[in-house]
Structure 1
Amino acid sequence: MSSLRIFVFITLFVKIEAQSGDDVKNLITTLFTTNDYVKEVRPNRNQLEPMILDIDFFLVGIDEVDELKQRLITTAYLDIGWTDEYLNWTASDFGELYHLYVPQTDIWMPDITLKNGFSKLEKLGSSFIKARVMHTGQVTWVPFEVFESKCTIDIKYFPFDQQSCDIVFVVWSSSVSDVVVTLWNKGIQLDSMEANAEWSVVSTSARESIKSTESTVIYTLNLKRSSTYYLMNIIIPIILLSILNIFTFALPADSGEKMGYCITVFLSFAVFLTIVSSELPKTSGSILGYYLMFQLGMGTFVVCCTTIELRLHHRKDDVPVTIIRMMKCRNVNKITKMENQNGSFSEQGIAWSDVVSMLDVVLFWVSTALVIIATMVLLGLLWTTS
């Protein structure tokens, strides 16, 4: 009995209305036929006032950062809103119909585009995308795009580098007296963003720029490269190879494996650089690239020094006194000079093998110092930017 009373009360005091297909058709006929809507006309009743476009940028993903072509590829969609003063109606006259979806090709659309685009200039959106029109005339248009924008990539601190890229939108044909582009509510939104394996977004910013000839909105993405992969697969193996390279001087010349060992290490380094070359930026100027060249030069230096040492090791003539003094093998005052047939001097008990052994010690510590200094400078410069 109580349920029946509630039903009677609702039917007596509340007017139940629901929109139908006929309401939608009548509304479309009224807006586009009866009112003679013309999409080529900017929808301001007062044409002296500019159209205000509000834009939000929703980043979906970072597809690619191309160092060689200086290009940033992102997947994103824009949330663009404006008020069309020729598309408004009284909702109660059409079955409480408060909003309507219409193709973007049927209503006035701003010719907004990516100003710093990498490819050819194209309008946003597509024919299948529909705009939402509220009964107040508020239009919301959400074009989805893969944006290719220009970006200056600085790889000096690769792989610990951070990049700042701008994505600039402008109304191409209209002047600021006709259309003004402004930031809407949220600027850049990352709620829909999917993670990228190499790049992460550190921070974002957005700003408006109104000049005498154009109005633009600039979205800035501050990106940071993930360095773990490059650290584990490039930097650490190179450091380990450089250690093996230094220990060439710890191997005695009498072992017969000194030359073969240094050549093997040098070839290993060369082959490794060939393998990882595809992972390195194709542009020059990185600190890591200079470090790789330094290590390659150290490998060449070790091979050359080893060749000269083996040449000296197998010499049968006497060691000149000047070399003994330079190497400081013994106290010069105790040198017993003996003149041989060719007029050179030698010291009894000093052979070329002793000179080579002393050279190994000196070169070992000199090479170790150079590699340590270069590595510490590299890591210090790279990690201070991370």
Structure 2
Amino acid sequence: MILLMKLVFLCCCSKRELVSAFTLQDEANLQASILTGYNKDLKPGWDRDVPLQINIMFFLFSIKEFDFNTGKLSVTGLFFINWTDERLAWNPTNHNHTNMTTIPQNKLWLPEFINVNPYDDLTGIRQDHLTIHLQYSGMCAWFAIQSFEVVCNADVTKYPFDTQTCALRFYVWGYFSHEIDLVISSPEVDLSLYVENSIWEIRDATIYLRLDYWKNKEIIVKLEMKRRSPYYVVSLIIPIMAVSFLMAFVFILPHDSGERVGFSTTVLLSIIVYLTIIQDLLPESSEPNISALGYLLVTYVVSGAFVVVEVIITLRFHRKSSENPVPRCLRCILIFFRRKRRKNVSVKPIGTCSKTNKTDNDENGGDENNEVQWGEVLTLFDTFCFIFTLFVFFMSALIYLCVVLT
């Protein structure tokens, strides 16, 4: 259908160039003739019981801007609209074979297309510098090009792997459905003149009609856009995970180095800086959902705060004097892990069973008698914190990737 309409328009233009017998004066006389007594305030159509058919197509040229914080989508597009106005028909033979002319749009009747979800004020698509291409049959072809700024509430749940769906909504203002019959010439938005955007990729672009509450037809231009995410993966996701991964290795640093608190605090501040950057990029609203990346960073911040507390506790253990006995609860925990490490009992000859049992009993009973040092408690605590911090990191990253990639 789109190709057919383009061919018709090209044929009309070609016909005008081939039939070049008419002159400037002929065209001037033609416009004076058809516009004499013409009332642009009246809707075309001799029979007022028959609705005027208006055919609509939409061409998308570019996506200028999509601001998440303000919910502003700015695009440039063109409406190709045509209808028949019998009052403007003429016989070409009476005007030296003049079969087509161009008239400024402010001299003819136009359907009042109003954008009803604008970012600022209600706007139409009338422009004083636009013209109407008029054929001898009374067919009016209007190429209305304009930049549209509409409201589009972003769903940042899967940022920066998100897909946004935005719509431009239009009404033909001032007429009811029994007076105007809107017809979509093609359900697909024409992207033949579209210039690719560096951030957004058009996944789907359609135009359709929808009945509102009062059964009036509303024109919907729907755009489905997917963010180009490689830049964000390289500059945001990978650095965040790399910095957060370092948090666990603070428990491998020697206690005597004195760098544990500084290292853990520096990593925590780095994660907070990334959290601030994300907050500046995303809108403040919580609907429909908060970004999963925000949850990931908050998880890393909270775990980083616990790591700082754990580092301070390990330093306190390290400074404990050997004269201070280890509390009974810590001794019990350490003895339990000692016994776990001694589960691998080697096979002995039959003749040595009694001796082996005696030795094992001595060793098992000796666990409680052996003195537990603070160094052993500190090593066990560091090992537990290291494993637990890595577990939190990998589980948080895995949950985030499952959310954004599904």
For normalisation by structure 2, the TM-score amounts to: 0.83
In structure 2, the residue corresponding to 1:146 is in which secondary structure? Answer: strand
Deviations 1:230-284 (A, max 9, x none): 1111111111011111101111212322222212222233334445543444444
Report how many residues are paired. Answer: 357
Partner of 1:206: 207
Task: Answer yes or no: is 1:367 the counterpart of 2:389.
Answer: yes
Please point out which of 327, 334, 341 is paired with 1:320: 327
Partner of 1:167: 168
Say whether the 8 Å CA contact 2:271–2:297 is kept in structure 1: no
Q: Which amino acid aligns with 2:365?
A: N
Say whether the 8 Å CA contact 1:171–1:214 is kept in structure 2: no
Q: Distance in 1 between matches of 2:66 and 2:211?
A: 29
Partner of 1:102: 103
- Residue 177 of structure 1, CA deviation: 1.6
Unaligned runs of 5+ residues in structure 2 are: 1-18, 340-363
Task: Answer yes or no: is 1:123 the counterpart of 2:124.
Answer: yes
Q: Distance in 2 between matches of 1:89 and 1:303?
A: 86
Against the structure 1 CA distance between its residues 271 and 153, is the aligned structure 2 distance closer, same or farther, given a 3 Å change threshold? closer
Please point out which of 229, 233, 245 is paired with 2:247: 245
After the TM superposition, which residues 193-342 of structure 1 pair with which residues of structure 2 at under 5 Å, given as runs? 193-210=194-211, 212-275=214-277, 277-284=279-286, 285-316=290-321, 317-327=324-334, 328-331=336-339, 333-335=365-367
In structure 1, the residue corresponding to 2:338 is in which secondary structure? Answer: coil
- Residue 137 of structure 1, CA deviation: 0.5
Partner of 1:29: 32
Say whether the 8 Å CA contact 2:80–2:141 is kept in structure 1: yes
- Residue 213 of structure 1, CA deviation: 4.5
Q: Which amino acid aligns with 1:245?
A: M
Q: Which amino acid aligns with 2:405?
A: W
- Residue 76 of structure 1, CA deviation: 0.8
Task: Answer yes or no: is 1:18 the counterpart of 2:26.
Answer: no
Unaligned runs of 5+ residues in structure 1 are: 1-15, 338-346
Higher helix share: 2
Say whether the 8 Å CA contact 2:187–2:206 is kept in structure 1: no
Q: Which amino acid aligns with 2:313?
A: I
- Residue 329 of structure 1, CA deviation: 4.9
Q: Distance in 2 between matches of 1:207 and 1:144?
A: 19
Q: Which amino acid aligns with 1:227?
A: S
- Residue 69 of structure 1, CA deviation: 2.9
State the Cα RMSD in Å.
1.9
Against the structure 1 CA distance between its residues 41 and 272, is the aligned structure 2 distance closer, same or farther, given a 3 Å change threshold? closer
Say whether the 8 Å CA contact 1:88–1:137 is kept in structure 2: yes
Deviates more, 1:272-281 or 1:316-325: 272-281
In structure 2, the residue corresponding to 1:44 is in which secondary structure? Answer: coil
For normalisation by structure 1, the TM-score amounts to: 0.87
Q: Distance in 2 between matches of 1:360 and 1:30?
A: 95
Deviations 1:68-123 (A, max 9, x none): 33332211111111101101111122222111111111001111111222221122
- Residue 37 of structure 1, CA deviation: 0.9
Q: Distance in 2 between matches of 1:110 and 1:371?
A: 59
After the TM superposition, which residues 70-81 of structure 1 pair with which residues of structure 2 at under 5 Å, given as runs? 70-81=71-82
Deviates more, 1:170-179 or 1:210-219: 210-219
Identity %: 29
Deviations 1:198-251 (A, max 9, x none): 111101222223455522222211110111111111111111011111101111
Q: Distance in 2 between matches of 1:204 and 1:176?
A: 25
Q: Distance in 2 between matches of 1:248 and 1:90?
A: 90
